[in-house]
Chain A
């Protein structure tokens, strides 16, 4: 099956710093999503981005499908950004939307 690798596994930032999270995948995809799992365990949709670039406030994401990677940028980080960030993909040949997750990046933003 398709492999999804995220890096770094852990990240500690000072409030106000910027960061880049990476997601590599081993096959073509027709769906890629970024999620934030907050400290209460909720999975929050950040971006649906199978290709191209999107921005939402301090967060932006870029997916280069031909090179099989996606990046999530967090600017001017805040303590509320803490949690785990997941990348999840649907394989390009899939006809049912089976979403496969990476292992996540755990982010801690210190005040």
Chain B
């Protein structure tokens, strides 16, 4: 398997524009996570899906952020409108979650810069 695939790797956009980040989880995994990493806040969980269903979105900063998982092999994180403070590295991760737990794997991240 190619691992968790994220696109784009880098994104530079102007304030007010819509940004869409994409993630393809590892085939067969049933849990997907979106994280944001900043110097100030470290790695924080934004939202996670289990079997394509959003389970907990309490980490989503505000209504400008939305995430979808239309099927088991694709998820998007959208920011509309974007603001400079959204600049960060966004990671997607996936795992095969079960009663005994399992290992999560991360994509290479998307570095977002909002100017």
Contacts from A to B (Cβ < 8 Å)? 30-31, 33, 35, 41-43, 45, 48, 50, 86, 88, 90, 96-101, 103-104
Contact = CB atoms under 8 A, between A and B. Distances in A.
Contact of A97 (B42, B48, B91, B106): B48
**Interface residue tally on B, bucketed by range:** 20 to 34
Interface in B18-63: 31, 33, 35, 42-45, 48, 50, 55-56
Interface in B69-109: 89, 91, 93, 95, 97, 100-106, 108-109
Nearest to B56: A98
Contact of B100 (A30, A45, A88, A100): A30
A31 B102 contact: yes
Contacts of A99: 33, 45, 93, 95, 104
B111 A41 contact: yes
